[in-house]
Amino acid sequence: MSKPEKNTLLVVDDTPENIDVLCGILGADYAIKIANGGQLALKIAAAQHPDLILLDVMMPEMDGYEVCRQIKENEATRHIPVIFVTALGEIKDEAQGFALGAADYIVKPVSPPIVRARVQAHLDLADQRRYLKHLVSERTGELERSNRQLEETHLVMLQQLGRAADYRDNETGKHVTRVGNFSRLLGLACGFMETRAEHLMYASMMHDIGKIGVPDHILLKPGKLTVEEFEIMKRHPEIGAGIIGEHDAEVMKMARKIALGHHEKWNGQGYPHGLSGADIPDVARIVAIADVFDALTCVRPYKQAWPVGKALELIEKEAGQHFDPELARLFLGMEAEVRRIAVEYSDADNVPQEENSGMYS
């Protein structure tokens, strides 16, 4: 069985006799590197990363305090424990050394048992710090993996529940896919980072989950709703927010804001709370445009599908009334991408018309 590798110590002193004393005390138990000046000490520390440095203070050209300062400023060497070994025994001298990041302070003339005990104690502490750092890194990695898995579960759940709500509404499930893609596109256009835009895509798929709580005779009615029926229909945003509930995950918080706010209007005439302007969450304002556009261009029990150009005209007309005017402008400026999504995720019996109005290109 091979012997365990010895820890490496760097002894820094401009006086050979002092170096000899420390080597005599420590040489049997440790591998010793020697530097007779500050510049050489810094080079050895950076290149060989000793486990601990024993550093004299009073040296020509660069004193020990400056050597310690540079060691602690260097990302590659700041972890190395530094023990000052010096004839300067005043409290202010020790305070200066500790302020620079030194681990300990031994006053000359040195006592061999104290030197050995201090060196081993700080090597043990360094080992413990490395182990704890490794443990934290390992646990952090496990936590990040768990968080990713949880987020993926949330995203799948949002997608599946959104599709379930669509099926409840006699949709094919592609409505929420189109709304999700329109929302992601608009989110990116208004400055969302890719991750937030991706979350928006999935969160938007839950926008109408509250319709699960609306009776079939109202939800599937082919004609216009009565005033009483519409009041019941207007409850679905709050029902949806209740179904989603309160969560710490950002994507779930986003889904709740969307479910609750996507029927609010820029002018304050929407529901359920009559919010207006920037009081409406930005994600809800985005989904409001995506949802209305898709509803207009698809067949519903009470209407035929509108051509894409006509639907875009309505978005333009309602900018500043129903919709955030800046978001509406951005949406109209992406007509080609909007058309592509509408066609790519179209229902088999409801492919959008491909006429080009030429108004928004």
pLDDT of residue 3: 58
Beginning with the edge strand found earlier in the chain, give each strand of the sheet holding 82-86 in spatial order: 31-35, 8-12, 52-55, 82-86, 104-107
pLDDT at 141 > cutoff 60: yes
d(CA 326, CA 8): 65
HSE (side-chain half, CA atoms, 13 Å) at 177: 15
| Burial class (CB within 10 angstroms; exposed 0-12, middle 13-18, buried 19+) of 234 | middle
| Residue 99 amino acid letter | A
Most confident of 23-32, 141-150, 246-255: 23-32
The predicted model gives 50-63 an average pLDDT of: 92
Q: pLDDT grade, residue 359 (50/70/90)?
A: very low
The predicted model gives 118-144 an average pLDDT of: 84
- Whether the CA torsion 295, 298, 302, 303 is positive or negative: it is positive
Determine how β-strand 82-86 pairs with β-strand 31-35. unpaired
pLDDT of residue 167: 55
Determine how β-strand 8-12 pairs with β-strand 82-86. unpaired
Class at the top of the CATH hierarchy for domain 8-110: alpha beta
Q: What is the dihedral of CA 213, 258, 248, 169, to 10 degrees?
A: 30
pLDDT of residue 157: 67
d(CA 212, CA 162): 10
Bigger pLDDT: 300 vs 263: 263
pLDDT of residue 190: 96
DSSP label at residue 5: P
The pTM assigned to this predicted structure is 0.59
Q: 134 CB contacts (<8 Å, ≥6 apart)?
A: none
182 in Cβ contact with 294 (< 8 Å)? yes
Enumerate the domain spans of the chain: 8-110, 150-344
Q: 274 CB contacts (<8 Å, ≥6 apart)?
A: 264, 268
Burial 168-203 (b: 16+ CB within 10 A, else e): bbebbbbbbbbbbbbbbbbbbbeebeeebbbbbbbb
The predicted model gives 131-140 an average pLDDT of: 81
pLDDT tens digits along 251-298: 889 999 999 999 999 999 999 999 999 999 999 999 999 999 999 998
Q: Which residue has the tokens 């710490």?
A: 248
Q: 132 CB contacts (<8 Å, ≥6 apart)?
A: none
Could you report how far apart the first and last alpha carbons of the chain are, in Å? 77
The predicted model gives 322-345 an average pLDDT of: 96
Report the percentage of the chain scoring pLDDT > 70.
88
Q: pLDDT grade, residue 360 (50/70/90)?
A: very low
Domain 150-344 fold:
Hypothetical protein af1432 (1.10.3210)
pLDDT tens digits along 238-249: 999 998 888 888
